[in-house]
Chains A and B, each alone.
Chain A
Amino acid sequence: MAEKFDAIVVGAGPSGNAAAYTLAKAGLKVLQIERGEYPGSKNVQGAILYAQALEQIIPNFRDDAPLERHIIEQRIWMLDDNSFVGTHYRSDDYNKPPYNRYTIIRAQFDKWFSSKVREAGALLICETTAEYLLMDGDRVTGVHCDRMGGDVFADVVILADGVNSTLARKAGFHGELSSKNVALAVKEILFMPEETIQARFNIAEDEGVVIELMGTVTEGMVGTGFLYTNKDSLTIGVGCMLGDFKSNPNKTTPYALLEKLKRHPSVAPLIEGGEMKEYCAHLIPEGGFNAVPRIFGDGWMIVGDSGGFVNAAHREGSNLAMTTGRLAAETVIAAKSAGMPLNAKTLKAYKDALDDSFVMKDLKKYRHLPDVLESSPQFFTTYPELVNRAAKTLFTVDGIDKMTKQREVTGSFKSARRLSGLVSDAFKLWRATR
């Protein structure tokens, strides 16, 4: 009675869809199992779509994928309590198709992506939870689901079950998620007329802006905020390391932090009048390179958030998810067409492909960043304050001569961090990002 497939993909988020689509397109018999009511119901993202990653899977996705705005301007703001110093990059090149990044609304995007997966021939069942992996010794042979007759078998099981993944943990492939390796982020979608958004952000129809926010808004916790323009709504959110929320003496909750961000005098006017129509939270694996677990074995592979494939420094996650999903599928397809068994030896090619790609290269580059930031709250408190104060000093014309002002600025840095501290901070940053 129990059926056998070429591959079972657990999860219908971006990495699961990427894997299932690629496999089905190659003619393999694929079953995709999603625990939510519909694909995307358990997913939360900023959300930014990285075209390059999706192009590799569905080259003509632009034909019918639901896309909000293509991004033409990136703003990075360093905030203190009532001001910010920002860097903007805007280019008309970003207005030349094909566009590089888009804002999306996940509920609609996931629905579209999943319809493509089904069109490609994969079978999708929802409201079904894969409870544990079926094993034959060390080899994974299938999954057991929470329905009667819930055993299904496959030559390979691809775990795309997200940051809260329990399957791998239950099977002993990796340990519990540590609170220092995961961030908790909350976001809201605020509805407002297209024209208002365009006027406020200085963009035309279809053009979009991304604002990354950091500074005192996270109360010294390691984290960032973000504000994205969708077609007729704005997404605003903030996330910090879970461990930091736990040890925050103010016991500020994530939603309280978001409220604070929304009230910031530089942020509030941008979101004024918006009506909240979605409100959600999610965990993001941010342990980086050192937190990536074993990602393959006899008859199994891990893709997406489940494998911790998130580049927190650049806030990239969905492109890594899609890329890992695709590379895992390609590994399986290659092995199958060469008649090879899907054991650890063969599937190692997946890890090799990842190491060769931007996925592991980027994670490796920033592998020290989590530790550095964790031990250096000054980057989130002192420096934003100093930088903002410096800007205020230098930009305020009040009869004080410029030399005095300059000395005041350098003096403030030295007294806050001492020369040795400044040097050490610079070194830390360099080391963390080289």
Chain B
Amino acid sequence: MHIVVCIKQVPDSAQIRVHPVTNTIMRQGVPAIVNPYDLFALEEALRLKDRLGGRVTMLCMGPPQAEDALRKCISFGATDAILVTDRAFAGADTLATSYALAAAIRKIGQEQSVDLVFTGKQTIDGDTAQVGPGIAKRLGMNLLTYVSGIRDVDLDARRLKVERRAEGGVQLLESTLPSLITMLEGTNEMRFASMDDMLRAARFPVRKWNKEDAGIEDLTKIGLKGSPTIVSKVFGPTPRATKADIEAVNDSSVQDVTLNLLQKIFTAHPMIEDELVQRLSA
């Protein structure tokens, strides 16, 4: 069995701040991490490998430093890692990204045919959840999103059964290989790498592919050129025109300030007072 797991290296967005004057993003010193959602996909792929044998190939499209992210995945037990890196990919939106990744997966499939592709549900920096579906479409793979568990994979019959999170419940779906699975978060717990795994990962020769190596033929489909969406502007949130009505408290004034607040709200919004009265008397 051959599984490809796609990951992205992202800035740890919890640590990004915006400068209040210049509105620039302060990304300095913000560490880059493996997109946390992708780790659930990786763990699930590794569990399948443990059960059914085979290989797990990591794939990442990114700048040269994304190599560290791939190395981390190797330490968890992935078999191989390929970094697709090329200046030409810069500025890619989700359509251009799925094009490049699909091409790379096709290339990987030439070495050994790919049975399953795993991705995380979404990234913490883009949040779109679009690349997985895009790759599936381009490769003609069945798309299984929001998968919360894999019930069964039958390699001989080329069939699999998965649980999928839908509104109000879980769908049990059956499909065929090859399929692309976007994995839901919180569905498994990442394993720990052993000392040997860490040493192996530290030594691992991560393969680097440029656009030619990745088998990309149509250059108009990658990077900025291949991106139908254009960011026309980036901005901070506009402060509201009318400032908030704010009162500070000290130890003695808390009671008065809260009373004042209620008066102000209920005078301006009598409907809210009615609403609250109804709720309390119910």
Contacts and interface: CB of A to CB of B under 8 A. Distances in A.
A148 B28 contact: no
B202 A124 contact: yes
A149 B17 contact: no
B108 interface: no
A107 interface: yes
A123 B19 contact: no
A152 B195 contact: yes
Nearest to B22: A193
B194 interface: yes
Given A107-B29, A275-B20, A148 B192 contact: yes
A193 B201 CA distance: 41
B21 interface: yes
Interface in A192-249: 193
Most buried by B among A3, A38, A150, A191: A191
B262 interface: no
Contact of A123 (B20, B68, B194, B203): B203
A128 interface: yes
A38 B31 contact: yes
B199 A148 contact: no
Contact of A150 (B19, B29, B195): B195
A191 B25 CA distance: 12
A277 B198 contact: no
A149 B194 contact: yes
B90 interface: no
Contact of B199 (A37, A125, A278): A125
B26 A37 contact: no
Nearest to A107: B29
Interface string A114-154: 00000000011100100000000000000001011111100
Nearest to B203: A123
A207 B125 CA distance: 35
A147 B194 contact: yes
Contacts of B195: 2, 128, 145, 147-152
A278 B29 contact: yes
A232 to B, nearest CB: 9
B31 A108 contact: no
Contacts of B20: 275
A108 B29 contact: yes
Interface in A14-72: 31, 37-38, 41
Contacts of A37: 31
A359 interface: no
Given A124-B202, A275-B20, A148 B26 contact: no
A37 B33 CA distance: 10
A147 B193 contact: yes
B127 interface: no
Given A41-B31, A108-B29, A273-B21, A1 B196 contact: yes
Given A105-B28, A128-B195, 12 more contacts: A1-B196, A38-B31, A105-B29, A107-B29, A108-B28, A123-B202, A124-B202, A125-B199, A125-B201, A147-B197, A150-B194, A193-B21
21 contacts: A38-B68, A105-B28, A105-B29, A107-B28, A107-B29, A123-B202, A128-B195, A128-B198, A145-B195, A147-B195, A147-B197, A148-B194, A150-B194, A152-B195, A273-B21, A275-B17, A275-B19, A275-B20, A277-B17, A277-B26, A277-B28
Interface of B: 17, 19-22, 26, 28-29, 31, 68, 192-199, 201-203
